[in-house]
Chain A
Amino acid sequence: EAAVTQSPRNKVAVTGGKVTLSCNQTNNHNNMYWYRQDTGHGLRLIHYSYGAGSTEKGDIPDGYKASRPSQENFSLILELATPSQTSVYFCASGGDNTEVFFGKGTRLTVV
């Protein structure tokens, strides 16, 4: 079973602060993704990556940056957190011809 680990699992941040959400996968998948899930919106893609050193904008990238320093790690960075970024964030990984596997999610609250 593919393994995707997110940290932290829960985070409370202050408005204007910097937040980094981390994701590690041990499946040697090329592709990694960051989604957010809000009630009434389903899963929305923020950023994704095809491999180490690459990041691409998804459907809702504003206010977020991403970093893929290695095949295994993909981070989501909120430079200036706002209350509207309160959400549940999911990281996922997948191969070029495989299904996508998800981490357990990070609940972020910005106060």
Chain B
Amino acid sequence: AQKVTQTQTSISVMEKTTVTMDCVYETQDSSYFLFWYKQTASGEIVFLIRQDSYKKENATVGHYSLNFQKPKSSIGLIITATQIEDSAVYFCAMREGDSNYQLIWGSGTKLIIKP
């Protein structure tokens, strides 16, 4: 059965530091796609970054990067040089390669950036 688990419900860090948010997934498929989204205080859900399972190199976009550990079924999101506006809820999601294009969602991690 497919499942995405985010065990950290809330994280608080100081501004300008680096934070890592954890996500583990379960799938029987050999091909799958992993995504991270951010939900802002206004409620908007914004796509941040993706990792395709066949790619060995960790994805990087701006100050977001991924730590993809395929043997551990883990896809961590790393945010460097955090800013106050990074405060949000972060969701991890997975889509299996031969699925009907549905996304399986984690429960989210609330990130608080302190000045």
Seen from chain A, the residues whose Cβ lies within 8 Å of a Cβ on chain B are 31, 33, 42-43, 45, 48, 50, 56, 58, 88, 90, 92, 94, 96, 99-102, 104-105
Contact = CB atoms under 8 A, between A and B. Distances in A.
B80 interface: no
Contact of B43 (A58, A88, A92, A100): A88
Query: Which of A31, A94, A99 has the most chain B CB within a 10 Å cutoff?
Result: A99
Given A90-B45, A99-B35, A56 B91 contact: no
Q: Main SS of the interface on chain A?
A: strand
Contacts of A100: 35, 47, 103
A45 B44 contact: no
Interface of B: 33, 35, 37, 42-47, 50, 91, 100-103, 105-108
Contacts of A33: 102-103
B91 A42 contact: yes
Contacts of B100: 48, 50, 56
Contact of A43 (B46, B91, B101): B91
